[in-house]
Amino acid sequence: MSAGKITILHVEDNYENLVLIRRLLQFYGYDVLEADNVSKAVKILKQIKPDLILMDINLPEIDGDTLTSKLKSIPYFREIPVVAITANALKGDREKSMLAGFDGYIEKPIDVDLFPDQIQSFLNQRVS
Ligand code: MN
């Protein structure tokens, strides 16, 4: 693992969620990259390999689960944990998330007390 700061890419089209998670992640010392759609996320991923990706499921144009299954089919990206941030705790959505290759999920609304431990545990899944 590199000695540099840990970088987290957050893909989310809801501005309030972007801001909340940005504040939390920055508070805990993480570097945050943001994309509000899949093409921006792909642009970032061509330049930077983040340590963790937080992914909204419902995005404009292409959904987060479609992007995630694509990323998981590419060896270079496969080792990055991808965590779904999902508003609907519906069982079907969770199953869909796991099928798409997500490494886990965090439910919206975000529990700010649990959030740092959730992030840490997903970072621990990284293949170093
Ligand atoms: Mn959304």
Predicted confidence (pLDDT) per residue in 89-99, tens digit = 666 766 766 77
CATH at 62? 3.40.50.2300
CA of 5 to the centre of ligand 1 (A): 27
| Chain segment 12-33, per-residue pLDDT in tens | 999 999 999 999 999 999 999 9
Centre of ligand 1 from the C-alpha of residue 59, in Å: 5
Query: Residue 47 is part of which domain span?
Result: 7-123
pTM: 0.90
CA of 127 to the centre of ligand 1 (A): 28
> Hey, CA dihedral for 4, 51, 56, 11, is it positive or negative?
positive
Close Cβ partners of 19 (under 8 Å, ≥ 6 residues apart): none
Give 110's DSSP letter.
Answer: P
User: What stretches of 36-98 adopt beta strand conformation (E)?
Assistant: 52-56, 82-86
Cα of 92 from ligand 1 centre, angstroms: 17
Q: What is the pLDDT of residue 93?
A: 66
Distance 58 CA to ligand 1 centre (A): 4
For residue 98, being part of any structural domain is answered with yes
Number of domains in the chain: 1
